[in-house]
């Protein structure tokens, strides 16, 4: 049975792949899915709870899904909670494909339709609003672009480095192998999280979030390729003794040709599985840095800095809708990558037995 057929019979791997497909489609179409701008503050609407959707008007007549303009009232001194004021004289219907803030599809085609929204003065905040009165759902969707892309960009940098240095080290051996492996051992002794914190802390405060994002990716990638290079070296040491490699040498093929066309492709199975399992580590690293204020900086959203409000005890107790959604999304993403990676490992292993 082919590996694809084995993968299709693994429900956990299918669940992981489905979750990831959904998440990536949503963040790719973030401007369309999010009803509002992640930077837009609503008038007198800070720390609003998730919007309640109504179906009947004040007279008890069914008029379809709608919301009312909502504002924050004064704080109750005893409980610390804010009063919620609803203007029920202005029902705002909830609709799909409503016009809203304009944006460009693929950065080219002007468009102003959003997946859902309201018609009227009322706003629909599915996950409430933050301290700056910004829609939390919109910020969560746009923040996924950073958190989900950092892993892909990271492996695009770290994996070629690991493949190249591991392949060269294993194929040529000798002093070159010793030199590369000593560098690898030094890099593997560096505590990744502490290095990230130290380097992120000394970054100049005036750099943009995009520049900070790229620096974080480069730093994480630089310290994560060493382990891969060591494993690739071990595999190349075995593969280079195979008959097809010896035949290529006999006909005069160059070492670079043999490594890229014959040796490294034999490690594809391991690379696919490792890439799937490595992406969560990049996501967690970005989330931790952003959580402690050294990653992506507000007002630009990421799942990590959306969690930074968890450091405020009052928000943790009184506004849990600001904490749980990004935390759950990070957990689901990491779990989905691990399930898919385990499924790929079982499906691509020629010794696996179909149960």
Residue 339, domain CATH: 1.10.3720.10
Give the Å distances, CA to CA, from 297 to 15, 143, 308: 32, 11, 10
Q: Let me know whether 275 and 332 are in one domain.
A: yes
Q: Let me know whether 126 and 145 are in one domain.
A: no
Q: Residue 237 burial (CB < 10 Å; 0-12/13-18/19+)?
A: middle
136, 160, 190: which is the final residue of a domain? 136
Q: Let me know whether 40 and 189 are in one domain.
A: no
Q: Does a structural domain hold residue 226? A: yes
Nearest alpha-carbon partner for 217 in 271, 147, 165, 273: 147
Q: Please report the pLDDT score of residue 355 as a whole number.
A: 42
Give the Å distances, CA to CA, from 218 to 264, 285, 313: 24, 12, 34
Q: Does a structural domain hold residue 20? A: no
For residues 129-168, b (16+ Cβ closer than 10 Å) or e, as one string? bbeebbbbbbbbbbbbbbbbbbbebbbebbbebbbbbbbb
Q: Let me know whether 144 and 65 are in one domain.
A: no
In the chain, what is the straight-line distance between the N-terminal and C-terminal CA atoms, in Å? 12
Q: Let me know whether 149 and 129 are in one domain.
A: no
Q: Does a structural domain hold residue 209? A: yes
102, 136, 170: which is the final residue of a domain? 136
Nearest alpha-carbon partner for 331 in 303, 311, 306, 301: 303
Nearest alpha-carbon partner for 308 in 35, 297, 270, 247: 297
Q: Please report the pLDDT score of residue 354 as a whole number.
A: 44
Q: What is the pLDDT along the chain (355 residues), one digit of tens a residue?
A: 566 677 777 788 889 999 999 999 999 999 999 999 999 888 888 888 899 999 988 888 888 899 998 887 776 666 656 778 888 888 899 999 999 889 988 778 889 999 999 998 889 999 988 888 899 999 999 999 888 888 888 888 888 888 888 888 888 888 888 999 998 888 888 776 677 677 666 777 677 777 777 777 787 777 778 888 888 888 888 888 888 888 888 888 887 788 777 777 778 777 887 888 788 888 887 777 777 767 777 788 888 888 877 666 566 667 788 888 998 999 999 899 988 888 887 777 655 444 4
Q: Please report the pLDDT score of residue 310 as a whole number.
A: 63
Distance CA 112, CA 39 (A): 16
Spell out the residues 6+ positions from residue 336 whose beta carbon is closer than 8 angstroms to its own: 15, 16, 17, 19, 20, 23
Q: Please report the pLDDT score of residue 328 as a whole number.
A: 92
Domain of residue 238, residue span:
140-351
DSSP 8-state class, residue 190: S
Spell out the residues 6+ positions from residue 325 whose beta carbon is closer than 8 angstroms to its own: 127, 136, 137, 140, 306
Q: Please report the pLDDT score of residue 333 as a whole number.
A: 92
The total of structural domains in the chain comes to 2
Alpha helices (H) in 77-208, listed in sequence order? 136-172, 174-189, 192-201
Q: Please report the pLDDT score of residue 138 as a whole number.
A: 93
Give the Å distances, CA to CA, from 43 to 39, 71, 76, 289: 13, 8, 20, 31
Helix (H/G/I), strand (E/B), else coil: 74: strand
Spell out the residues 6+ positions from residue 286 whose beta carbon is closer than 8 angstroms to its own: 146, 147, 150, 216, 220, 295, 296, 302, 304
Strand partners, 114: 98
Take residue 105 and report the two structure tokens written for it: 């599809």
Distance CA 16, CA 336 (A): 4
Take residue 342 and report the two structure tokens written for it: 């385990």
Take residue 331 and report the two structure tokens written for it: 């957990």
Q: Let me know whether 242 and 226 are in one domain.
A: yes
């Amino acid at each position: 049975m082919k590996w694809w057929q084995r993968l299709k019979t693994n429900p956990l791997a299918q669940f992981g792949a489905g979750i990831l497909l959904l998440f990536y489609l949503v963040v790719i179409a973030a401007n369309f899915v999010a009803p509002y701008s992640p930077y837009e503050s609503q008038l007198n609407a800070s720390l609003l709870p998730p919007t309640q959707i109504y179906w009947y008007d004040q007279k008890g007549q069914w008029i379809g899904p709608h919301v009312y303009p909502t504002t924050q009232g004064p704080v109750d001194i005893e409980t610390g909670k804010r009063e919620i004021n609803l203007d029920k004289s202005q029902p705002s219907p909830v609709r799909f494909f409503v016009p809203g803030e304009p944006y460009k599809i693929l950065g080219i085609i002007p468009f102003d339709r959003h997946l859902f929204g309201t018609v009227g003065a009322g706003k629909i905040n599915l996950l409430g609003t933050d301290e700056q009165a910004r829609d939390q759902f919109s910020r969560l969707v746009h923040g996924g672009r950073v958190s989900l892309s950092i892993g892909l960009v990271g492996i695009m940098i770290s994996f070629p480095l690991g493949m190249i240095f591991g392949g060269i080290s294993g194929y040529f051996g000798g002093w070159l192998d010793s030199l590369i492996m000593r560098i690898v051992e030094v890099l593997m002794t560096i505590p990744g999280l502490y290095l990230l914190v130290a380097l992120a802390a000394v970054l100049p405060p005036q750099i943009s979030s995009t520049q900070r994002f790229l620096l974080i990716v480069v730093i994480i990638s630089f310290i994560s390729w060493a382990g891969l290079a060591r494993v690739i070296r071990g595999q190349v040491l075995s593969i280079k003794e195979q008959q097809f490699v010896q035949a290529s040498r006999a006909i005069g093929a160059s070492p670079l040709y043999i490594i890229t066309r014959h040796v490294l492709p034999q490690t594809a199975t391991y690379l696919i599985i490792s890439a799937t399992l490595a992406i969560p580590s990049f996501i967690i690293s970005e989330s931790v840095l952003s959580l402690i204020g050294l990653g992506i900086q507000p007002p630009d959203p990421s799942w990590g800095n959306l969690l930074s409000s968890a450091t405020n005890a009052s928000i943790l107790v009184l506004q849990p809708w600001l904490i749980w959604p990004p935390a759950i999304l990070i957990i689901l993403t990491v779990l989905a990558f691990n399930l898919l990676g385990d499924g790929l490992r079982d499906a691509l292993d020629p010794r696996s037995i179909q149960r």
